[in-house]
């Protein structure tokens, strides 16, 4: 069943919300009186379509339908999630909520993107105050996973639970803020760092570039995967947080910062900071900076996926949800018909799989075919649990043919045929497609090996039966063109 989200306000944040829902298969309905709203949306959606699929190693759902509407009554029709992202003026938000609640479903989540207002303030004069909460995102919403979910004392707990479920389902993390507080949690940290940075610039201690370097080359990377307290815990060595606090706690009394003493925003200070910022990054356009930002975020989160840590662990969980219920999570004994090549990979080509020509590089063809082999091994029962018992397949020989180009963002599928499966041996033929276009073929010959002796050994009876079932069914497919070829061999 298609789910529908209503987006009220089509700026950068509203557009990011729209992209997050749209590319996760939701229909998105947008209300924004700005005549340029559709054009502004396209820029955000273009960036999202380019970068967001690279966060996971399985294809996202088919995108939902995007539509623009002239009234709030129209936009909330059928919506189960309503996201308000209008300007940060309380009187505007209150008027919007009053209008929305006259027309929306009573069990729809109404969430505000506000970074400063508390939900109790947003609920003033509401028809159903229990329906309103804060869901504060971080830019770009289509890549950044954190949502500060802030209910008030009167917010319906069932709707809070529903909001958590929805946020998680689109690959984001709902941080339930248990007590209302101005600026929630994350922005209070950012505000403290911002104030201190202003003083460091004003007092001539550091330039804007030097401050940014301190963050991006230092604690920013650590915080990005471990947070604040775990970072400090590790700084305490084996003794942990207690040792860290005993060693560094006295420093809290030293006059290191001016966090509660905010410098006046004089013209001189604004000009100083703006001038240094221009000198630091003025050689790049904002569009270039946004593209670099998205590339870096995807690369960092993908790196964290490999360690199953932080935001990467979140993406792995989201990916598992995307696979669930599809052939990409099925076992051979769950499939009634195995007479055709079996889809073992379906994913977008991520940004970091491409080279200087914009093409998928050679190593990533091997990775895609290696992933296909690993997936087929799982399907026949040679999974992590089985490998832990001491047996696995080792690839003894590989041959790849590059037939056509694959570019970043291309939705590729790998279909696998078993050429031989008997005893210790398994001979696989992979074909990679974009739509109906053949991109490459990969041929893998594998031997089952004892991990104890590192010598060929017989797999379990269940694995032998599963492999042979597919091999027998695939005999009718015949030998594929190109199978058994050598490098440089003439047609």
Q: Sort strands 132-136 and 27-31 into parallel, antiparallel or unpaired.
A: unpaired
Residue 186 has which token pair? Answer: 């994350």
In the prediction, which pLDDT does 491 show? 64
DSSP state of 359: B
Cα–Cα distance for residue pair 232/242, rounded to 1 Å: 10
In the prediction, which pLDDT does 150 show? 97
- Report CA-CA distances (Å) from 134 to 22, 46, 113, 150: 21, 27, 6, 5
Is there a contact between 42 and 10 (Cβ–Cβ < 8 Å)? no
Cα–Cα distance for residue pair 491/488, rounded to 1 Å: 9
In the prediction, which pLDDT does 50 show? 92
Cα–Cα distance for residue pair 365/297, rounded to 1 Å: 23
C-alpha neighbours within 13 Å on the C-beta side of residue 297: 23
Q: Sort strands 411-422 and 425-434 into parallel, antiparallel or unpaired.
A: antiparallel
pTM: 0.85
Which position has the token pair 């993406």? 315
For the beta carbon of residue 388, count every other beta carbon within 10 angstroms: 10
3-state helix, strand, coil in the chain (%, to 5): 45, 20, 35
> Cβ neighbours of residue 261 under 8 Å, at least 6 residues apart?
199
In the prediction, which pLDDT does 245 show? 75
Angle, CA 321 vertex, CA 320 and CA 322 arms, to 5°: 90
- Report CA-CA distances (Å) from 189 to 183, 194, 195: 9, 9, 10
Domains and CATH numbers, the chain: 4-183 (3.40.50.720), 187-283 (1.10.1040.10), 325-477 (3.10.129.10)
Cα–Cα distance for residue pair 418/112, rounded to 1 Å: 53
Handedness of CA 304, 307, 313, 315 (dihedral sign): positive
Is there a contact between 218 and 226 (Cβ–Cβ < 8 Å)? no
Residues of the chain short of pLDDT 70, as ranges, are: 252, 491
Task: Report pLDDT digits (tens) over 257-269.
Answer: 777 777 887 889 8
Is there a contact between 424 and 369 (Cβ–Cβ < 8 Å)? no
> Cβ neighbours of residue 274 under 8 Å, at least 6 residues apart?
none
In the prediction, which pLDDT does 259 show? 75
For the beta carbon of residue 444, count every other beta carbon within 10 angstroms: 24
Is there a contact between 174 and 134 (Cβ–Cβ < 8 Å)? no
Task: Report pLDDT digits (tens) over 185-227.
Answer: 999 989 999 999 999 999 999 999 999 999 988 888 888 888 8
> Cβ neighbours of residue 369 under 8 Å, at least 6 residues apart?
398, 400, 414, 430, 432, 440, 442, 444
Is there a contact between 407 and 359 (Cβ–Cβ < 8 Å)? yes
């Amino acid at each position: 069943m298609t789910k529908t989200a209503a987006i009220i306000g089509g700026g950068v944040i509203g557009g990011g919300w729209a992209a997050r829902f749209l590319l996760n298969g939701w229909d998105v309905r947008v209300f924004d009186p700005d005549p340029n709203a559709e054009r502004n949306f396209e820029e955000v959606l273009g960036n999202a379509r380019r970068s967001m699929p690279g966060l996971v190693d399985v294809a996202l759902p088919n995108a939902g339908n995007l539509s623009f509407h002239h009234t709030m009554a129209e936009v909330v029709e059928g919506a189960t999630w309503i996201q308000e992202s209008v300007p940060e003026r309380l009187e505007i938000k209150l008027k919007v909520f009053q209008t929305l609640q006259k027309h929306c479903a009573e069990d729809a989540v109404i969430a505000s993107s506000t970074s400063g207002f508390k939900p109790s303030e947003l609920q003033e004069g509401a028809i159903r105050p229990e329906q309103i909460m804060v869901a504060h995102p971080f830019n770009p919403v289509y890549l950044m996973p954190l949502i500060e979910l802030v209910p008030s004392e009167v917010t319906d707990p069932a709707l809070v639970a529903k909001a958590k479920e929805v946020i998680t389902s689109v690959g984001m993390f709902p941080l339930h803020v248990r007590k209302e507080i101005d600026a929630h949690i994350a922005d209070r940290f950012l505000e403290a760092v911002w104030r201190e940075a202003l003083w460091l610039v004003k007092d001539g201690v550091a330039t804007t570039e030097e401050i940014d370097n301190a963050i991006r080359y230092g604690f920013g990377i650590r915080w990005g995967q471990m947070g604040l307290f775990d970072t400090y815990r590790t700084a305490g060595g084996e003794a942990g947080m207690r040792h860290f606090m005993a060693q560094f706690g006295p420093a809290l009394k030293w006059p290191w910062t001016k966090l509660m003493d905010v410098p006046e925003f004089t013209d001189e200070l604004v000009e100083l900071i703006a001038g240094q910022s221009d000198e630091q990054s003025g050689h790049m356009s904002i569009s270039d900076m946004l593209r670099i930002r998205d590339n870096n975020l995807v690369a960092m989160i993908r790196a964290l996926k490999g360690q199953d840590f932080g935001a990467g662990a979140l993406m792995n969980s989201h990916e598992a949800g995307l696979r669930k219920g599809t052939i990409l999570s099925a076992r051979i004994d769950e499939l009634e018909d195995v007479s055709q090549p079996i889809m073992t990979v379906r994913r977008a080509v991520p940004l970091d799989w491409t080279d200087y020509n914009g093409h998928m590089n050679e190593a990533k063809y091997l990775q895609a075919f290696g992933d296909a082999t690993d997936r087929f091994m799982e399907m026949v029962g040679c999974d992590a649990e089985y490998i832990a018992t001491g047996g696995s397949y080792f690839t003894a020989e590989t041959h790849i043919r590059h037939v056509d180009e694959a570019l970043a963002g291309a939705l590729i599928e790998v279909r696998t045929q078993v050429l031989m499966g008997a005893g210790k041996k398994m001979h696989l033929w992979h074909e990679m497609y974009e739509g109906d276009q053949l991109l490459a073929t990969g041929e893998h010959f594998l031997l089952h090996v004892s991990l104890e002796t590192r010598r060929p050994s017989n797999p379990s009876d269940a694995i032998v039966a599963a492999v042979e079932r597919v091999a027998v069914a695939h005999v009718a497919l015949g030998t594929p063109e190109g199978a058994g070829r050598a490098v440089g061999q003439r047609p």
